[in-house]
Amino acid sequence: MTPSRRDLLVATAASGLPIGRKIDRDTFDDAWHQGVLERYYGFGDKASGGPGDRASGEWLEGELTRAGYSCHRQAFSAPYFEPTETTLSIEGQTAAVIPHAVVTPTGPEGLSAPLALALGHRPLDGAIALIVLPARRWSSAADPLIAAALADAWSRGAAAAVLVTTGPTGDALALNAFAHHRGPARPVAVLAPRDAGPFLDAAANGRTGRLVLAGRGGERPAWNLTARLTRGGAQSVVLSTPRSGWFGCAGERGSGVAVWLAAATWLARRPGGFDVDLVATSGHEYENLGGAAYLEEAAPPPARTRLWVHVGANLAARDWHEFGGQLRPLPGADSQRFLLASPNVADAFRRAFAGLPGVEAVYPATAANSAGELTNIIAGGYGSAAGFFGNHRFHHSRNDDMRCVSGALVRPVSEALRAALLDILGS
């Protein structure tokens, strides 16, 4: 992503989207949301159990404690990999790659083998298979297309695989994965489409490449931040959001964290005949590992849950024009964001989010049409639920930085969620 100075000025001047019902605007204004975004992004990469993930959790813990919540850390373990070198090279050319989790290292010496395009049905015995994915906003290796492509490469004898995540930015995109191998433990990496050309040519000519995935890894402690406001109610309102992610996650995670924290703070200030349960999960990259732990061990049961709102990915990431081979920032939010709600609360969400591109179309909440932690929430029997998810253009890219989001973009979504909660829970 290389916007010009003029592009950055356009982005800085973004004024956000039209808003509907206004709630506590003087408190939760653009500047408040901008401050949350900058604080979250400032913690650096958010890999599960890593320094940025822990620091963001500690910060949120402090914010919620000051708001009156009783906080707890729900511990579990998550995979990790700290790289020293992750490259793919041929004679005269070297490109950085993203090691795909759960990482099978090559060691510092690397794996030298013929490069081969994973096309057709010919043997790939001992080769480094190059798998060029079709154009899409990629997110997870659990996607059936990726899972099938890897299984096919292994069945034909490939020693390693390199995925080319063709997408709107030309970036390499980190892919979510299960916490344990569901197939052969062989080295897999992700290569940026913009860097792929020389390696595809080399594979077509049977040249030898060298894949290096060197570093230290294994399992390390991680934790969900849970918080509760006990008012003696018969039922709870649950708000969940993931806080971990592969890189800085400004648009992917930051927008959700800001909306979640505003709603949590607002609920604590309001009277109500219900308890409030919050969770900011780690382990998201490992197919919702932390979210599954919360559901199993700490979530209020469905019968005690009045409403569960999952504040997922890409609530208010910036949209971009694709122009002349470049991306130019737009003042509005990416409309490839989705809002699902169960029938008993769908109308309230539809009213609150009217006019906000993407999320104004409220879809029925089913396990079949959802994504991320929301899938497990619905499958867990929570009949009064709503949730958000989506992949913006820089989703899972190292370039998902503060150019991808702003307080002005996040505030309208934040206000709309609080309007929906007011509608459902009453004044």
Separation of alpha carbons 55 and 61, rounded Å: 10
pLDDT value of residue 233: 86
Name residues whose C-beta falls within 8 Å of residue 99's C-beta, 6 or more positions apart in sequence: 81, 83, 86, 105, 187, 188, 189, 213, 215
Number of helices (H), then strands (E), in the chain:
10, 15
Residue 127 near residue 108 (C-beta atoms within 8 A)? no
DSSP 365: -
Nearest CA-CA partner of 192 in 200, 181, 184: 200
Show the low-confidence residues of the chain (pLDDT under 50): 1-25
User: For the domain 5-78+220-425, what is the CATH code?
Assistant: 3.40.630.10
| Residue whose pair of structure tokens reads 């996040």 in the numeric block | 410
CA atoms within 13 A on the CB side of 380: 22
DSSP labels for 192-256?
A: -GGG-HHHHHHHHTT-EEEEEEEEEEEEEEEEEEEEEE----SSEEEEEEE---SS--IIIIIHH
Write b or e for each residue in 201-219: b if 16 or more Cβ atoms lie within 10 A of its Cβ, otherwise e: ebbeeeeebbbbbbbebee
Q: Please name every residue paired with 327 in a beta bridge, in sequence order, or none if there are none.
A: 322
- For the whole model, what pTM was predicted? 0.92
pLDDT value of residue 413: 98
Sign of CA dihedral 373, 378, 381, 384: positive
pLDDT value of residue 427: 58
The DSSP H or E segment spanning 41 is helix 30-41
| 3-class secondary structure, 389 | strand
Distances from the Cα of 400 to the Cαs of 3, 13, 174, 236, in angstroms?
Answer: 13, 19, 12, 34
Q: Where in the chain is the domain with CATH 3.40.630.10?
A: 5-78+220-425
Residue 97 near residue 193 (C-beta atoms within 8 A)? no
From the CB of residue 427, how many other CB atoms can be counted at a distance below 10 Å?
Answer: 7
Burial of 345 (0-12, 13-18, 19+ CB in 10 A): buried
pLDDT value of residue 246: 97
pLDDT value of residue 64: 97
Q: What is the identity of the amino acid at 8?
A: L
| 3-class secondary structure, 344 | helix
Give pLDDT tens digits for 32-80: 999 999 999 999 999 999 999 999 999 999 999 999 999 999 999 999 9
β 188-191/160-164 pair status? parallel
pLDDT value of residue 27: 82
pLDDT value of residue 286: 96
pLDDT value of residue 388: 96
Separation of alpha carbons 261 and 349, rounded Å: 19
Q: Where in the chain is the domain with CATH 3.50.30.30?
A: 80-218
Separation of alpha carbons 419 and 157, rounded Å: 56
Burial of 180 (0-12, 13-18, 19+ CB in 10 A): exposed
Residue 72 near residue 230 (C-beta atoms within 8 A)? no
Give pLDDT tens digits for 213-268: 999 999 999 999 999 999 988 899 999 999 999 999 999 999 999 999 999 999 99
pLDDT value of residue 20: 33
Task: Please give the class, per CATH, of domain 80-218.
Answer: alpha beta
